[in-house]
């Protein structure tokens, strides 16, 4: 059975890109375009991995992640932060907010599959 | 008195109705009306009272009016009693005359005319009254007379007594005077006769006893007199008078004064001195005695007349004391007085001169003294202030009082602030220093306080505080702005990078043929798109980084890591390119640089990558690029040296500026953002290091930067622009065996921007000199093994062409021979102890030169 990945990202192009690549690599990919939708979908699908954009209109990634963590049903889901920022202290911030890891954008499309595999293999810390 | 008494009138009539009618007529006259109904009764009544008048009825049974009247006339008591007969009618004239004979004074006919009756009664009553008065006066006169007589007798007795007393007194006085005279005579006699006493007195040396005859010629001159005046008794006895040994002017003045007083001329001379004494008046005076040697002294003399038993003056006795001491004391006192006044004046002036408002007050806070400044401060006059409570002149009287209490308990109070208010309401802020002060017996006198006007200071304080408040709000604003900047940067990052996600991402996917094959042309085009996209991303990243650093938003992610790994990793990144370009890529790490460093690893990589990629870029085929690390005290110095095209002197300053890639000058088509070096500089300086370049056009370049080994919180190292430091781009080699000295020199040089290389012995020094071609060598002389002299000689021998100036720093005392050895090989010789750091740096700079 293929593993489920949820992508929460407001930018259509990015969504298409990630979905195409990951689908190509055999994952079952779902997409949400903003935080609230993402949280709902996560609860519904219980994916093996969630790639969460940070900068989104409405509910941002940090908040969404916080909600997921706060809900016992979804607290054990793996969530990776995608961010355009590479500001210092962000890593700590993301990890503190409950993300399992973060990756700066632009994400190398060539590296993405490998990263995803790695994240799926890693036990939740 | 007699008027008030009711005058008694006797009414006699045998018929009661007549009595009643008469009474009625006389009722309102205030009379004492007495009735009698018969002659006998009437007579009886007269025995009891003195009546003014009798109204006598004639016709009465038994005894008629005439008979009654006759009887009345007979009695002494009633002889003069006025009788008015009241009759109904006269039978004959006979009766009338009888009536008169009987002594009546008048008749009243019945029926009685009221007016007539009343007027007649009135007359007699008046008469009676007057008579009574007269009698009373007479009685009084008689009494007075008696009294007078008695007085007279008294006086006579008293007079007699007085006369007696007076004569007795007179007698007594005379007796007394006689007794006194007797006593005096006895005294004089006694004195004259009393040998030992006389002797003692006369031989006293402390005062002069001079006895003269009646004319004043000295007869006795005692030891004291001899001592005081310098004459022997023999010299003066029977020769001169005391006037001759006195100040003549004084004697004359005395004579004159006496003359004026007594209105009789007194001759200047002994007479003047003895005048009063001769009159029996005890005399003491001050005069100036003149000694035999002509010197003078003030004396106090008492002079008395000596009398014989018969009371004649036989001479005079003058007893004198030397008053010099007293006079001296007096003079001193005057002087002291003057000095005291001067002192007081001085003290007062000081008090007044005090620029601060000063005052004293007693322990209950009542002002006892003030100076001028205090008057000005309070706007009150001295008189108003003294005696008034201190607290009255301040806006906070309780605080003023508390201040006084504090001084009294703590003996001293400093910087006690109060606000004074003058009578116009003008307020001045002052700061008080106060102490308690005491008299000689250490009794508390009160409080002394001086007030300094601190209005200016307070004003400045207030201004300062206001400024601080302003600054604080400015800071808050700045922070806000800063936050805005952060948000802006964050947004910018996101917005700029997001489209590139698509550009690069989709291109890659296509290129990887994930969704189907592509032909060559498509590959080519995709390649172009990717290249441009990546370039753009690179630019954006650099700009954002630069912006971050410049707006102070860049933070260092400090970790401790092994340097070597990072260096090797950087080289690895460029190895491919280097190989492609046929460039030899080398790593040289000095042993002491095998260290862990505390830095931002990613940024260090950025720096290294930038410098290395530049080096590789600008080095032609078969060139070399060398990455080297040495340790410089607390720093590591990393250098990327290439044998590339180099940079012109004039362009060096532009290198680290953003966007001035010099490719347009040197070669075309170099990729690069032109931001690399600018960013590199910022990142290096953010760590507290410096970056600089040494280059020779056409030969190569050497880009060096320093990184502190460990970042400490307070080690905020220089962020001065490397170009502005005097040592920028210059290398100084220090050859010194003493590690402390070596470290100190290196540090000093490093601080000024020099690259300071170290050698701890001569041999190493020579090697490093050859390897590094420093701009200056600082050379110690006394070193084990190869010493400084040897080093100088060797360097001179080996490469005379590359004459590196040598500054010898030694603690040795050099002999001429020593100096000769060094001459021509070294630039300058200085003593270690004699150079200050400043001087040392000046020397270095002077020989190394700038730019």
DSSP B350-401: HHHH-SSEEEEE-TTSBEEEE-HHHHHHHT--HHHHTTSBGGGGBS-HHHHH
| Chain B: residue whose CA lies nearest to A9 | B498
Measured between CB atoms, which of B493, B502, B555 is closest to A89? Answer: B555
Per-residue pLDDT at B578: 84
Compute the distance between CA of residue B809 and CA of residue B826 in angstroms, rounded to an integer. Answer: 11
Residue B621 to residue B80: CA distance in whole angstroms: 196
pLDDT at B1: 44
Question: Is the minimum CB–CB distance between B772 and chain A shorter than 8 Å?
Answer: no
Give the gap in angstroms from C-alpha B539 to the nearest C-alpha of chain A. 14
Cis before residue B111, ω within 30 degrees of 0?
Answer: yes
Q: Are B76 and B54 in contact (CB under 8 A)?
A: no
Q: Which pLDDT score, from 0 to 100, does residue B358 have? A: 92
Q: What is the C-alpha R_g of chain A?
A: 13
Asked whether the beta carbons of B581 and B616 are under 8 A apart, the reply is: yes
Give the whole-angstrom CA distance, residue B294 versus residue B44: 123
Instruction: Give the SS3 label for residue B112.
Output: coil
DSSP string of B58-109, one letter each residue: S--SSS-HHHHHHHHHHSTTTTT--EEEEES--S-HHHHHHHHHTTEEEEEE
Taking the Cβ of residue B554 and every Cβ of chain A, the question of whether any pair is shorter than 8 Å is answered with yes
Contacts of B504 in chain A (CB under 8 A): 106, 109
Torsion angle, CA of A49/A54/A57/A63, rounded to 10 degrees?
Answer: 80
**What's the CA angle centered on B16, arms B14 and B18, to 5 degrees?**
85
Total number of domains in chain A: 1
Residues of chain B with Cβ-Cβ distance to A109 below 8 Å are 504-505, 508-509, 512
Q: With b meaning 16 or more CB within 10 Å and e meaning fewer, what string describes B30-41? A: ebebbbbbbbeb
Is residue B537 within 8 angstroms of chain A, CB to CB? yes
- Structure ipTM over 0.85, yes or no: no
Q: Are B8 and B64 contacting, i.e. CB atoms less than 8 angstroms apart?
A: no
Question: How far away is chain B from the Cα of A15, in angstroms, using its nearest Cα?
Answer: 10
Give the model's pLDDT for residue B387: 92
| CB neighbour list of residue B86: distance below 8 Å, 6 or more residues apart | B13, B18, B22, B55, B56, B57, B58, B65, B107, B108, B110, B112
Overall average pLDDT of the A79-108 stretch: 79
Option in A13, A85, A87 nearest B502 (CB): A13
Q: What is the pLDDT of residues B722-734, one digit of tens each?
A: 456 677 778 899 9
The rounded distance, in Å, linking the Cα atoms of B280 and B276 is 7
| Subunit contact A105:B501, Cβ cutoff 8 A | yes
Residues of chain B contacting A106 with CB distance shorter than 8 Å: 497, 500-501, 504-505, 537
The per-residue pLDDT for B262 is 81
The vertex-B272 CA angle with B266 and B276, nearest 5°, equals 100
Query: Best mutation site among A90, A106, A108 for testing chain B: the one with the most B CBs within 10 Å?
Result: A106
Is residue B77 a contact partner of residue B46, using CB atoms and an 8 Å limit? yes
| Number of Cβ atoms within 10 Å of the Cβ of B345 | 10
Q: Does A114 touch chain B (CB under 8 A)?
A: no
Eight-class DSSP state of B591: G
Q: Give B394→chain A minimum CA distance, Å.
A: 60
Residues of B in contact with A87 (CB under 8 A): 489-490, 493, 548, 553
The C-alpha atoms of residue B43 and residue B50 are separated, in whole angstroms, by 11
- What residues have CB less than 8 Å from B309, skipping those under 6 apart? B185, B188, B189
Backbone angles phi, psi at B605, to 5 degrees: -60, -40
**How far, CA to CA in Å, does B326 sit from each of B226, B230, B330?**
20, 20, 6
d(Cα A30, Cα B603) in Å, to the nearest integer? Answer: 37
The residue count for chain B: 851
Residue B416 has phi, psi (to 5 degrees) of -90, 115
Instruction: For residue A106, give the CATH number of its domain.
Output: 3.40.50.2300
Q: How far apart are the first and last CA of chain B?
A: 149
Domains and CATH numbers, chain B: 7-143 (3.40.50.2300), 194-322 (3.30.450.20), 354-453 (3.30.450.20), 555-713 (3.30.565.10), 731-848 (3.40.50.2300)
pLDDT in tens, B269-311: 888 888 888 888 878 888 899 999 989 988 999 998 988 888 8
Q: Which of B701, B693, B677 is closest to B731 using CA atoms?
A: B693
How close is the nearest chain A Cα to the Cα of B837, in Å?
41
Tokens of B655: 């290198």
Compare all CA atoms of chain A with the CA of B500 and give the residue at the minimum distance.
A106
Residues 6+ apart with CB under 8 A from B700: B619, B623, B641, B642, B643, B644, B646
Least Cα separation, residue B491 to chain A (angstroms): 9
Chain B residues touching residue A11 (CB < 8 angstroms): 498, 501-502
Domain span holding position A109: 4-121
B92 contacts chain A (CB < 8 A): no
In the three-class reduction of DSSP (H, G, I as helix; E, B as strand; rest coil), residue B476 is classed as helix
Extract the residue ranges of chain B whose pLDDT is less than 50.
1-2, 663-670, 713-722, 851
* Nearest residue on chain B to A56, alpha-carbon basis: B494
């Amino acid at each position: 059975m293929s593993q489920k990945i949820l992508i929460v990202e407001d930018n259509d192009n990015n969504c298409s890109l990630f979905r195409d690549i990951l689908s190509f690599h055999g994952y079952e990919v779902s997409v949400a375009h903003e935080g609230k939708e993402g949280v709902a979908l996560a609860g519904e699908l219980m994916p093996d991995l969630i790639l969460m954009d940070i900068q989104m209109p409405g509910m941002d990634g940090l908040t969404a992640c916080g909600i997921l963590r706060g809900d016992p049903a979804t607290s054990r889901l793996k969530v990776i932060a995608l961010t355009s920022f590479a500001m210092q202290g962000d890593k700590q911030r993301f990890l503190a907010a409950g993300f399992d890891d973060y990756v700066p954008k632009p994400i190398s499309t060539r590296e993405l599959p490998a990263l995803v595999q790695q994240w799926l293999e890693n036990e939740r810390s | 008195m007699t008027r008030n008494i009711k005058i008694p009138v006797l009414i006699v009539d045998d018929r009661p109705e007549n009595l009643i009618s008469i009474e009625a007529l006389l009722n309102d006259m205030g009379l004492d009306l007495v009735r009698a109904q018969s002659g006998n009764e009437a007579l009886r009544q007269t025995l009891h009272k003195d009546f003014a008048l009798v109204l006598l009825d004639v016709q009465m049974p038994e005894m008629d009016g005439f008979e009654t009247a006759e009887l009345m006339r007979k009695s002494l008591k009633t002889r003069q009693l006025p009788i008015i007969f009241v009759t109904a009618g006269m039978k004959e004239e006979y009766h009338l005359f009888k009536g008169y004979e009987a002594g009546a004074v008048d008749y009243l006919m019945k029926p009685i005319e009221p007016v007539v009756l009343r007027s007649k009664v009135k007359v007699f009553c008046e008469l009676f009254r007057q008579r009574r008065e007269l009698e009373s006066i007479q009685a009084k006169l008689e009494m007075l007379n008696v009294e007078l007589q008695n007085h007279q007798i008294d006086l006579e007795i008293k007079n007699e007594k007085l006369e007696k007393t007076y004569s007795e007194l007179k007698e007594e006085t005379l007796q007394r005077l006689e007794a006194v005279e007797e006593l005096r005579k006895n005294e004089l006699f006694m004195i004259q006769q009393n040998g030992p006493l006389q002797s003692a007195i006369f031989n006293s040396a402390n005062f002069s006893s001079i006895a003269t005859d009646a004319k004043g010629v000295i007869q006795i001159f005692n030891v004291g007199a001899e001592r005081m005046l310098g004459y022997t008794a023999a010299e003066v006895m029977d020769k001169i008078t005391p006037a001759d040994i006195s100040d003549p002017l004084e004697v004359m003045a005395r004579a004159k004064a006496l003359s004026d007083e007594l209105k009789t001329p007194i001759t200047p001379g002994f007479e003047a001195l003895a005048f009063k004494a001769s009159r029996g008046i005890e005399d003491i005076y001050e005069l100036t005695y003149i000694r035999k040697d002509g010197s003078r002294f003030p004396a106090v003399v008492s002079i008395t007349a000596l009398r014989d038993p018969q009371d004649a003056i036989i001479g005079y006795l003058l007893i004198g004391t030397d008053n010099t001491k007293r006079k001296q004391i007096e003079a001193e006192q005057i002087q002291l007085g003057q000095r005291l006044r001067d002192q007081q004046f001085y003290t007062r002036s000081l008090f007044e001169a005090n620029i601060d408002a000063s005052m004293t007050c007693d322990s209950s806070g009542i002002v006892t003294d003030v100076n001028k400044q205090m008057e000005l401060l309070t706007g009150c006059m001295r008189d108003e202030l003294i005696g008034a409570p201190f607290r009255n002149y301040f806006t906070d009287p309780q605080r003023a009082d508390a201040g006084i209490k504090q001084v009294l308990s703590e003996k001293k109070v400093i910087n006690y602030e109060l606000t004074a208010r003058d009578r116009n309401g003008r307020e001045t802020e002052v700061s008080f220093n106060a102490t308690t002060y005491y008299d000689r017996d250490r009794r508390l006198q009160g409080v002394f306080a001086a007030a300094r006007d601190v209005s200016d200071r307070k004003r400045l304080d207030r201004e300062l505080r206001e400024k601080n408040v302003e600054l604080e709000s400015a800071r808050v604003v700045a922070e806000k702005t800063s936050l805005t900047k952060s948000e802006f940067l964050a947004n910018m990052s996101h917005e700029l990078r997001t489209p590139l996600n698509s550009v690069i991402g989709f291109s890659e996917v296509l290129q990887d043929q994930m969704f189907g094959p592509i032909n060559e042309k498509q590959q080519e085009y995709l390649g172009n798109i990717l290249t441009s996209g990546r370039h753009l991303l690179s630019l954006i990243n650099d700009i954002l980084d630069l912006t971050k650093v410049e707006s102070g938003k860049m933070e260092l992610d400090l970790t401790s890591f092994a340097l070597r790994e990072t260096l090797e990793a950087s080289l690895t990144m460029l190895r491919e390119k280097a190989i492609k370009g046929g460039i030899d890529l080398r790593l040289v790490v000095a042993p002491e640089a095998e260290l862990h460093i505390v830095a931002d690893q990613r940024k260090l990589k950025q720096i290294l990558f930038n410098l290395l990629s530049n080096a590789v870029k600008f080095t032609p085929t078969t060139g070399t690029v060398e990455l080297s690390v040495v340790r410089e005290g607390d720093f590591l110095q990393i250098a990327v040296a290439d044998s590339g095209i180099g940079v012109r002197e004039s362009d060096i300053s532009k290198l680290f500026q953003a966007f001035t890639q010099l490719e347009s000058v040197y070669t075309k088509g170099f990729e690069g953002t032109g931001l690399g070096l600018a960013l590199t500089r910022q990142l290096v300086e953010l760590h507290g290091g410096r970056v600089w370049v040494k280059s020779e056009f056409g030969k190569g370049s050497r880009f060096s930067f320093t990184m502190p080994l460990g970042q400490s919180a307070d080690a905020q190292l220089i962020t001065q622009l490397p170009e502005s430091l005097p040592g920028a781009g210059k290398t100084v080699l220090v050859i010194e065996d003493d590690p402390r000295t070596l470290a100190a020199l290196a540090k000093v040089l490093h601080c000024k921007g020099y690259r300071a290389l170290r050698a701890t012995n001569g041999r190493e020094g020579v090697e490093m000199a050859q390897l590094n071609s420093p701009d200056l060598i600082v050379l110690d002389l006394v070193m084990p093994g190869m010493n400084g002299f040897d080093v100088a000689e060797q360097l001179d021998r080996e490469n005379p062409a590359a004459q590196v100036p040598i500054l010898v720093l030694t603690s040795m005392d050099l002999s001429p021979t020593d100096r000769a050895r060094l001459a021509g090989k070294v630039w300058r010789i200085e003593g270690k102890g004699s150079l200050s750091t400043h001087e040392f740096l000046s020397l270095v700079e002077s020989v190394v030169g700038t730019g």
